[in-house]
């Protein structure tokens, strides 16, 4: 029997494949990533949501498992690591892909792309660096770490071969694939992401657990669609840059209750990701700002309401004070256990 804390589709829609009783799935709206709880003798949580909901994440996890021994991050973006610090303060260890774990430990200014994307992350430490093929005991089950770089260089998936469960992070969802950062990660990032999609498809999962949206009712169809979308990102680098810019800007609007229309240009032109996107697209930054806003309004990705631009996608409100955390360049020295 599946244990899920939110319906996965409208009435009459096909049901997703069932989860085992030891797995509890929390489908969460933006700005949070979905969360997977694995009960047992070593209770574990996969991804911990956005910083504004850290207390709710911890309360939910404790209500379902009593305690959490390990938090595993599929990658380090803000919507996946927001409760890491609070859970670690409560006794949990934090595990993450080795490249990201090492950068966190040395307090690299680029950690979590927090400053680059202007997405707040509370300072945290990683106790367990993860490598490809490593086995992890989560709850009472062994899971395999599968490196799936592309969306970030340290991105990983988790594979349970007996149940054929695959936690895919942001690599794909039922209707999407993760954006890639060609400016920071290089022009080959889209090809790397596509290779990761092929690797996941080769596993032939029974259940795909994505970080955003519902569990796909047809895993094979979801993977086939993701492979087509991933190929488009490879074949159309400009399209890949636009795709990332739209996703990043929409998230910025979500976590800030929108922005006053007359402040949007100043905000965007101060962002490193916007400057990089303009360079790759061979546009002046101000031209990119105008085109980004115009095309997103036309497509319905953002809306103008009450003098503000707002993200159209469903999301929960964010308390402004929760965003007031330092960039990684100002994080305190790492304190490993």
Q: Tens of pLDDT along 113-155? A: 999 999 999 999 999 999 999 999 999 999 999 999 999 999 9
**Cα separation of 7 and 3, whole Å?**
11
Q: For the whole model, what pTM was predicted?
A: 0.95
Average pLDDT for 253-273: 98
- Interhelix angle 285-299/272-281, rounded to 10 degrees, is 90
Q: Which residues contact 93 (CB under 8 A, 6 or more apart)?
A: 69, 70, 71, 127, 128, 337
Q: Is the CA virtual torsion 253, 313, 216, 198 positive or negative?
A: negative
Characterize the bridge pairing of strands 23-26 and 302-305. Answer: unpaired
pLDDT at 2: 42
Rounded Cα gap, residues 171 and 306, in angstroms: 35
Kindly report, residue by residue over 284-329, the tens digit of the pLDDT: 999 999 999 999 999 999 999 999 999 999 999 999 999 999 999 9
Q: Please, are residues 211 and 257 in contact by the beta-carbon 8 Å criterion?
A: no
Using alpha carbons, select from 85, 93, 32 the residue that is nearest to residue 67: 93
Average pLDDT value over all residues in the chain: 95
For 6-12, which contacts have Cβ atoms below 8 Å and span 24 or more sequence positions? 8/214, 8/215, 8/217, 9/214, 9/217
pLDDT in tens, 50-83: 999 999 999 999 999 999 999 999 999 999 999 9
203 pLDDT exceeds 70? yes
Higher pLDDT: 2 or 99? It is 99
pLDDT band at 3 (very low <50, low <70, confident <90, very high): low
The string of pLDDT tens digits covering residues 13-51 is: 588 899 999 999 999 999 999 999 999 999 999 999 999
């Amino acid at each position: 029997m599946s244990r899920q804390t939110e319906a996965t589709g409208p009435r009459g829609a096909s049901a997703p494949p069932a989860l085992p009783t030891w797995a509890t799935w929390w489908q969460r709206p933006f700005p949070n990533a979905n969360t997977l709880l694995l009960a047992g003798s070593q209770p574990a949580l996969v991804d911990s949501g956005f910083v504004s909901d850290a207390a709710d994440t911890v309360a939910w996890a404790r209500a379902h498992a009593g305690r959490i021994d390990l938090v595993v991050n599929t990658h380090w973006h803000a919507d996946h690591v927001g409760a890491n610090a609070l859970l670690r303060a409560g006794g949990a260890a934090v595990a993450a892909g080795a490249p990201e774990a090492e950068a966190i430990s040395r307090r690299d200014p680029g950690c979590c792309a927090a400053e680059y994307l202007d997405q707040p992350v509370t300072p945290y430490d990683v106790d367990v660096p993860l490598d490809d093929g490593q086995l992890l005991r989560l709850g009472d089950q062994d899971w395999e770490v599968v490196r799936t770089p592309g969306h970030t260089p340290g991105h990983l998936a988790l594979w349970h071969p007996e149940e054929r469960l695959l936690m895919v992070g942001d690599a794909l969802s039922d209707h999407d694939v993760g954006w890639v950062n060609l400016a920071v990660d290089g022009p080959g990032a889209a090809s790397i992401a596509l290779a990761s999609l092929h690797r996941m498809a080769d596993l032939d999962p029974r259940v795909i657990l994505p970080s955003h949206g519902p569990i796909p009712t047809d895993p094979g169809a979801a993977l086939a669609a993701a492979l087509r979308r991933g190929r488009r990102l490879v074949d159309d680098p400009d399209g890949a840059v636009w795709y990332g810019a739209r996703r990043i800007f929409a998230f910025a609007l979500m976590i800030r209750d929108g922005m006053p229309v007359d402040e949007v240009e100043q905000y965007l032109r101060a962002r490193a990701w916007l400057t990089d996107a303009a360079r790759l697209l061979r546009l002046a930054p101000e031209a990119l700002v105008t085109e980004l806003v115009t095309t997103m309004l036309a497509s319905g990705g953002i809306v103008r309401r009450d003098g503000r631009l707002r993200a159209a996608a469903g999301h929960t409100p964010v308390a402004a004070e929760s965003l007031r955390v330092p960039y990684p360049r100002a994080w305190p020295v790492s304190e490993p256990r």
